[in-house]
Amino acid sequence: MITDLWERGCERLAAELPEQQFNTWIKPLPAADVSAAADGLRVGLRVPNRFKLDWIRTQYGSRIESALSELAGQPVRLELSLLPRGPEQRMAAPAGSDTAMRVIAPAPLSVGAMLDTSLVTPTAGSMPAGRASLRRPVRAEEPGHVAGAAAPGVSAAPARGALPAPASNIGRLNPALTFETLVPGRANQMARTAALHVVGAPGQMYNPLFIYGGVGLGKTHLIHAVGNALIRNNPDARVLYLHAEQFISDVVKNYQRKTFDELKAKYHSLDLLLIDDVQFFAGKDRTQEEFFNAFEALLAKRAHIIMTSDTYPKGLVDIDERLTSRFDAGLTVAIEPPELEMRVAILLKKAQAEGAGMPEDVAFFVAKNVRANVRELEGALRKVLAYARFSHKEISINLAREALKDLLSIQNRQISVENIQKTVADFYKIKIADMYSKKRPASIARPRQIAMYLAKEMTQKSLPEIGELFGGRDHTTVLHAVRKIGGERQKNTELNQQLHVLEQTLKG
């Protein structure tokens, strides 16, 4: 059957690729055209923009071909082409499209209320280099940044003349967070490349740029890097960085003060809006409305918007679909947890920045043991450097082991699939044997799915390995369980709490 070849291929790729990669690159693609050719099958895939096309070709092309060839039992040739863009696609975000490029026609805007994030004059160098001043929760004195004229490629703002004088020195880009200090690697390659594109041609391609990924992976760093680079290229560019919580508190404040017009004028003058952690808009209807207005106004004048979030647009909960579909209308890219080599490179670079020489074997030792994210890696590095300083010892593996012993002892408490099965069976009062059995009543099937989900989340086992440990089940059964429980967890508070208890119990 070649008619469902693409569908089956997607199932296969969903099981093989990391979920984020699949969701970003493969899932949003429209169904492929499959046709017979002289030397096998030809699979035509239409991709919404050039960037995606190049990326899919280089990163996934041969993988897609081999998965499809295997499923079809004959050679498959992948042909990628750009999705033709009809007039309505150019004017509005196609609902449900993950990645379509978009130019928004100036809309009849009712920017009744805007945010109170005063633009302030850049004072690069006067900012403490540390990250602490940018951490959440963001306080009222910590929003965004910078004033001036248009960035290259960005049209002049109508309200520019009406710009109020910088209100006060209330927050700015962190000059330490630049492309130079951001270690490149596979995990951030895509997001970094897209961000560099924005610096090169702001207001043009990939607008909005939506960057998502887990905590401490460098999303904030990257958007500051864009802001800093843009200002370096054009010191007059008006760039605003702010955390979503700051936007929320600004909306509230301006609602009370009724200072909407002033805010609107300020807002319209931006060339680049960098907004962090938009998942914080969840459930805040008024904020969402204001953000929608701001968003439309900025895109209409071709200012660039870059957002970050802990999940991809369609994964955002309690955020109006009219916003999430717009978030998705430019380019959506993920930042993944860094792999070992990148973690080592980050450690070496950060140690060097601290003026400390870290031997490579020590960097490998630390990187192997601290895997969660870059923030934790930085924490581990700080501990090792402080320990060496206070004990007046050379940095060595033994010293690192000693400095990180608390952290290592937690990690050594390995979580096994067997342990998960036992803990979940106890919790839901079923027999451990039911974890491997073929029984299907919901009272058994659901705890089994929960155990599969936890096995995927808390161990390094692959889907097929987990399937094997659950009575020889197929990896697609495990994948289904992982997606189902993961999705429900977002919406079902009771389930989320149960999972939390189970996770805490398993971590000890």
Ligand X SMILES: Nc1ncnc2c1ncn2[C@@H]1O[C@H](COP(=O)(O)OP(=O)(O)OP(=O)(O)O)[C@@H](O)[C@H]1O
Q: Note whether 188 binds ligand X by CB under 6 A.
A: yes
Q: Which is nearer to ligand X, 45 or 222 (CB)?
A: 222
CA distances from 468 to 436, 475, 492 (A): 9, 8, 29
Binding pattern to ligand X, positions 303-342, x when CB under 6 A?
Answer: -------x--------------------------------
Binding pattern to ligand X, positions 218-247, x when CB under 6 A?
Answer: xxxx--------------------------
Interacting span for ligand X (CB under 6 A) from 216-224, 227-235, 254-262, 424-432: 216-224
Q: Which is nearer to ligand X, 181 or 505 (CB)?
A: 181
**Residue of 136, 132, 139 whose CA lies nearest to 170:** 139
Of positions 36, 129, 140, 215, contacts ligand X by CB under 6 A: 215
Which tokens hold the place of 98?
């993950």
Number of residues that bind ligand X (CB under 6 A): 19
**Residue of 271, 265, 158 whose CA lies nearest to 204:** 271
CB of 423 to ligand X, least distance (A): 28
Interacting span for ligand X (CB under 6 A) from 14-22, 208-216, 290-298, 314-322: 208-216
Q: Note whether 343 binds ligand X by CB under 6 A.
A: no
d(CA 346, CA 419): 34
309: enclosing H helix or E strand = strand 304-309
In a 13 Å sphere around the CA of 126, the CA atoms on its Cβ side amount to 8
Interacting span for ligand X (CB under 6 A) from 214-222, 285-293, 381-389, 469-477: 214-222
How deeply is 209 buried, as exposed, middle or buried, from its count of CB atoms within 10 A (0-12, 13-18, 19+)?
buried
Judged by CB under 6 A, the chain residues 372 through 391 that form the site for ligand X are 374-375, 378
Of positions 217, 270, 400, 454, contacts ligand X by CB under 6 A: 217
Q: Which is nearer to ligand X, 157 or 191 (CB)?
A: 191
How deeply is 214 buried, as exposed, middle or buried, from its count of CB atoms within 10 A (0-12, 13-18, 19+)?
middle
Q: Which is nearer to ligand X, 181 or 369 (CB)?
A: 181
Count other Cβ atoms within 10 Å, centred on residue 161: 9
d(CA 460, CA 456): 7
CB of 336 to ligand X, least distance (A): 11
CB of 177 to ligand X, least distance (A): 6
d(CA 409, CA 30): 47
- The amino acid sitting at 229 is A
Binding pattern to ligand X, positions 430-459, x when CB under 6 A?
Answer: ------------------------------
Structural contact between residues 327 and 278, judged by C-beta atoms closer than 8 angstroms: yes
Judged by CB under 6 A, the chain residues 355 through 374 that form the site for ligand X are 374
d(CA 448, CA 477): 11
Binding pattern to ligand X, positions 160-179, x when CB under 6 A?
Answer: -----------------x--
Q: Which is nearer to ligand X, 131 or 480 (CB)?
A: 131
Q: Is the dihedral of CA 135, 140, 143, 145 positive or negative?
A: negative
Q: What is the DSSP string of 122-180?
A: --TTSS-SSSGGGPSSPPTT-------SPPTT-PPPTTGGGPPPP--------TT-STT
CB of 57 to ligand X, least distance (A): 25
* CA of residue 67 relative to chain centroid, distance: 27
What is the layout of strands, in order, in the sheet containing 304-309?
Answer: 239-243, 272-276, 304-309, 209-212, 331-334
Interacting span for ligand X (CB under 6 A) from 210-218, 266-274, 414-422, 456-464: 210-218
Under DSSP, is residue 331 helix (H, G, I), strand (E, B) or coil? strand
Q: Which is nearer to ligand X, 220 or 459 (CB)?
A: 220
Interacting span for ligand X (CB under 6 A) from 211-219, 265-273, 296-304, 428-436: 211-219
d(CA 437, CA 35): 42
Q: Which is nearer to ligand X, 346 or 466 (CB)?
A: 346
**Residue of 440, 456, 439 whose CA lies nearest to 499:** 456
Q: Note whether 183 binds ligand X by CB under 6 A.
A: yes
Q: Which is nearer to ligand X, 217 or 333 (CB)?
A: 217
Of positions 27, 77, 131, 371, contacts ligand X by CB under 6 A: 131
Interacting span for ligand X (CB under 6 A) from 20-28, 59-67, 83-91, 180-188: 180-188
CB of 169 to ligand X, least distance (A): 22
DSSP state of 308: E
**Residue of 126, 382, 160 whose CA lies nearest to 267:** 160
41: enclosing H helix or E strand = strand 40-47
Binding pattern to ligand X, positions 390-429, x when CB under 6 A?
Answer: ----------------------------------------
CB of 130 to ligand X, least distance (A): 8
CB of 357 to ligand X, least distance (A): 18
Query: What does the binding site for ligand X look like in residue numbers (CB under 6 A)?
Result: 131, 177, 181-183, 188, 213, 215-221, 310, 346, 374-375, 378
Positions at the binding site: 216, 218-220
Positions at the binding site for ATP: 216, 218-220
